[in-house]
Structure 1
Amino acid sequence: MNVRLALLISLASIAGSAALGCGPSEEPYKAKPAVSGKKAAMPAVPTLPQKQKKTPDGAFTVWGITHDLRSKVHFEEVNGKPVSIVGYVVKTNFESAPACAIHKTGKGDPPDCKAPIPTFSIADEKGETKDVIDVMGWASNFAQVYTLIDAIDRSPKGKEGEAKLADEFWGAELPNPIPNVGAKVKVTGNYGVTFTKASSGAASNPKYGIMTAEKIEYLEPPPEKAYLPGMKKKP
């Protein structure tokens, strides 16, 4: 390489470096001002209700046991198992009792008389109509219910709670007073998807289950006596 060529290369390198260093300098970062105007209204974070699975004495709530019935993890722990459930009586099927089924024990219903099994439903809150558990097995038919109501009404004043009646088919004593809307009860028995105690067939409720009562304890008595259609109410 001759001296002239080396000089040209050196000058070209210097010129390139100068060209790179003479460009415009970058603008310094400037923070953008906060957005002015009305702020968006955001809804408050909802507070989810703290539902209890069991009561302090170990009995299930209606929400607690129906949750477990629908759970793949806990289903086998409650289905067909003896448990206690606490709840308010929110409805009965007494009004659906046909006239042919309302009579004293010892007399059979006519062959064409179709009557449901006496049932009441419990929930965690008064007035609830959806999340409920049907309670069956405490009376085999409406004749049993009629007879006990009549016995209570005929009892001397102050002795109504002493009236007793053992179910002529299932053997267990009926609850006194007869369950009615507004009472708070603790029901002990067998809980599960199906109720098979009736001879006429099995009832089923896979979502909420059915309680077959063996014992009914009143935590709060019903505000009014229960009566069947057509029965004269005692003053």
Structure 2
Amino acid sequence: MQIAKRVKFFTAVLVPFAVVASASAAFVGCSSNADEPYKPLPAWSGGRKASLPPVPSLPTTPIKSGDGYTVHGAIHHLRSSIHNADVTGKEITVVGYIVDSNIATAPPCAIHKTGKKDPDDCKTDIPTFTIADTKGDTKGAQIKVMGWASNFANVYDAIEKYKNLKEPPKEPLKDELWAIDMPFPLPSVGAKVKVTGKYGVNFSKSSSGIASDPLSGILTYTKIDVLEEAPEKAAFAKNDGKK
């Protein structure tokens, strides 16, 4: 009985009040909009420009140079999951400029004729030269070339044999350890060369252990063609030690 009375009270009193209140609010809203005429906003002027870094320039160096790879191209394929198999673990040809060589920085203890042992405390590296796409570029992409001489004693003998020659000898000097022909002329900074060899991240011919370059790779020498001669022949530093 009490519940029925409460329902009647809600229907008779509260519902009409709610309808009137809602209608009043709608009327007030409409009347306030009518008092403020529409004002169009001005066209957007662009506002403050965002400060963005410049668009990076993409490398323009080609992948190939004639029948060989550029240094950029060989390294690009080495790092590519798609093209890695095209260059890794097989002989390829790379064209570039010799931009560095460790002949001139060989330690005096390693500079002597073949047949003489280096002193036990002599710390030396395997003869190496480096090629790049641009002459003199020692900061950009580079590939090390190893395997053309087993030690600086063989380089010493080659310098002595080749120093007065203008044409390749009929019988090139052979590396005493690896039994390969020493290149003529010897690799020298500034020369443009076409180097053929097995390309990959490791060089394993050295008796001192495996050399590795996972970023740029190492070219294990098979042969070299000189396209432009270097301004000077390869040479050890002056006061280079004893014979």
Question: 1:194 aligns to what?
Answer: 202
Q: What is the Cα deviation at residue 177 of structure 1?
A: 1.3
Mapped contact 1:180–1:225 kept (Cα < 8 A):
yes
Q: What is the Cα deviation at residue 160 of structure 1?
A: 3.0
Question: 1:225 aligns to what?
Answer: 233
Question: Is the alpha carbon distance of 1:71 and 1:103 closer, same or farther for their aligned partners in structure 2, counting shifts above 3 Å?
Answer: same
1:37-72 CA deviation, whole Å, 9 max, x = no partner? 999999876653322111122x11111111121122
Query: Which of 77, 96, 104 is matched with 1:68 structurally?
Result: 77
CA distance in 2 between partners of 1:111 and 1:42 (Å): 59
Q: Superposition pairs for residues 82-97 of structure 1, below 5 Å?
A: 82-97=91-106
Question: 1:123 aligns to what?
Answer: 132
CA distance in 2 between partners of 1:181 and 1:120 (Å): 8
Question: 1:113 aligns to what?
Answer: 122
Mapped contact 1:152–1:161 kept (Cα < 8 A):
no
Q: Percent identity?
A: 51
Letter in 1 for 2:156: Y
Asked if residue 150 in structure 1 is aligned to residue 164 in structure 2, the reply is no
Question: Any gaps of 5 or more consecutive residues in structure 1?
Answer: 1-18
Question: Is the alpha carbon distance of 1:147 and 1:70 closer, same or farther for their aligned partners in structure 2, counting shifts above 3 Å?
Answer: same
Q: What is the Cα deviation at residue 79 of structure 1?
A: 1.9
CA distance in 2 between partners of 1:104 and 1:178 (Å): 16
Question: SS at 1:72's partner residue?
Answer: coil
Q: What is the Cα deviation at residue 200 of structure 1?
A: 1.9
Query: Which of 99, 103, 116 is matched with 2:108 structurally?
Result: 99
1:51-101 CA deviation, whole Å, 9 max, x = no partner? 2111122x1111111112112222233221111111110111123311111
Question: Is the alpha carbon distance of 1:39 and 1:209 closer, same or farther for their aligned partners in structure 2, counting shifts above 3 Å?
Answer: closer
Question: 1:203 aligns to what?
Answer: 211
Letter in 1 for 2:219: M
Question: Any gaps of 5 or more consecutive residues in structure 2?
Answer: 1-26
Mapped contact 2:105–2:236 kept (Cα < 8 A):
no
Letter in 1 for 2:233: K
- What TM-score, normalized by structure 1, do the two folds share? 0.76
Question: Is the alpha carbon distance of 1:25 and 1:50 closer, same or farther for their aligned partners in structure 2, counting shifts above 3 Å?
Answer: farther
Question: 2:89 aligns to what?
Answer: 80
1:157-189 CA deviation, whole Å, 9 max, x = no partner? xx4333431111111111111111111111101
Question: 1:161 aligns to what?
Answer: 167
Letter in 2 for 1:118: P
Q: What is the Cα deviation at residue 118 of structure 1?
A: 0.5
Question: Is the alpha carbon distance of 1:195 and 1:36 closer, same or farther for their aligned partners in structure 2, counting shifts above 3 Å?
Answer: closer
CA distance in 2 between partners of 1:203 and 1:37 (Å): 57
Question: SS at 2:194's partner residue?
Answer: strand
Mapped contact 2:112–2:153 kept (Cα < 8 A):
yes
Question: Is the alpha carbon distance of 1:129 and 1:33 closer, same or farther for their aligned partners in structure 2, counting shifts above 3 Å?
Answer: same
Figure out how many residues of one structure are paired with residues of the other and give that number.
Answer: 209
Q: What is the Cα deviation at residue 28 of structure 1?
A: 7.9
CA distance in 2 between partners of 1:207 and 1:67 (Å): 10
Letter in 2 for 1:101: A
Question: SS at 2:161's partner residue?
Answer: helix
Letter in 1 for 2:218: I
